[in-house]
Structure 1
Amino acid sequence: MQSQALQTMTPFKAPAASPERAAVIPATRFASGHEAPGIRADAIGIRAILSLPVTWWQRSRFRAELRADLREKPELLHDIGIGVYDAQAEASRYFWEALVLKRR
């Protein structure tokens, strides 16, 4: 009875790759279309991961200075085109969140 059930089952077949679907290739090109000279795709990812703490530290320092400017001299922010509300919103963001503060 078991052998009969196994014989009637059809084996699984993977779907054939369609010609419209392109293969996934890691990005090793710049926005201009030029190749990154001597840099492998996995090295780009490693560099990005290793530079993350530096980026986070810079964002943290920027937001700390922004909070200090809000306390001490908010008129300076207005002079350079940054609203107080925008500065407060940026200063309250976490260090891992990207900067969204733009000059007017």
Structure 2
Amino acid sequence: MENTFDPELIRAIFKLVWSRRALERERNEGTENLDGEVGAGTSKKSRPTTANANALKLSSELLRLFITEAVQRTATIAEAEGVYKIETTHLERILPQLLLDF
């Protein structure tokens, strides 16, 4: 079995993103509802966002595949240029097609 990212690390990253989005949503709702009305979306604030263990494993594997493919494509570009060190410019060249493929 190949190495993959720790699902707990992925969960922590997801949790960080979810909390930032919740804070953004609260700020946006605060500016839209200046008169103190309670909006229809208030139930999202009290409901915790979680991820299933299988979803975390799948997300970890997808991230591993994405990064592996990026490194392989970038190495191919660097090798074609006769360079043995991957540079940022190589990654920039493959990113548009890589994002379309994934």
Fold shared, TM-score > 0.5 on shorter chain: no
State the TM-score, normalized to the length of structure 1: 0.34
Compare relative contact order (CA 8 Å, sep 6+) and give the higher one, 1 or 2: 2
Q: Give 1 or 2: higher helix fraction.
A: 2
Bigger radius of gyration, 1 or 2? 1
Q: TM-score scaled to structure 2, two decimals? A: 0.35
